[in-house]
Structure 1
């Protein structure tokens, strides 16, 4: 894959992981604000699938092995958290760790591709 395509995937990955992390941090606060918005678990699943798409594309490149491990472990953590939320309707803190791992993995990959 070209470096430009990988950089675009990293921008998409960093952006979606950051938006997902903000979403996960803000939505638990919404019950305290009387605006009538409730949390939909399928939004979490959408962010997870978007992240999976980007990670799978990056895994097919010649990215360093430790970056692939960081991204893969982060995706596994995110999917475990999302499925736990969908099944039991309880949030776990795993999602925050997975989101931070995704951001770190994409930033490392972006910096690695620049050299």
Structure 2
């Protein structure tokens, strides 16, 4: 896998995780306004799908095992949080930790491939 492809997966992962975190942090504030918006957890699944695509690209590369582990654990936390929310209809803060882990993992991988 060439460097451009690896960087693409990292940029995609960082962007997706950042947008997901912004969505999860800002949406509860917007939902307070009486404009009839409700939180749709399928949006979280779309962000997770993009993140899975980015992780699969990185797993196929020769990245450090520790970075792969960070990304896999973070995605596991995100998927667990989404599943919990879909079943119980209660939002959990685990999603934030998974998103931060995804951003950190992709930044580490991006930095690793820069050198």
User: TM-score normalised to the size of structure 1?
Assistant: 0.96
Structure 2, unpaired ranges of 5+:
none
Runs of 5+ unmatched residues, structure 1: none
Moved more, 25-34 or 98-107: 25-34
Report the count of equivalent residues: 115
Shift of 1:82: 0.4
2:31 maps to which residue?
31
Q: Which residue of 1 aligns with 2:41?
A: 41
Cα displacement string for residues 24-77 of structure 1 (whole angstroms, at most 9, x for unaligned residues): 101122221122221101101111111111101101110011100100000000
SS of residue matched to 1:92: coil
Query: 2:63 matched to 1:63?
Result: yes
C-alpha separation in 1, matches of 2:65 and 2:44? 27
TM-score (norm 2): 0.96
CA RMSD of aligned residues (A): 0.8
Distance, in Å, in 2 between the alignment partners of 1:2 and 1:78 is 28
Alignment of 1:2-17 (within 5 A): 2-17=2-17
- After TM superposition, where is structure 1 displaced by more than 4 Å over at least 4 residues in a row? none
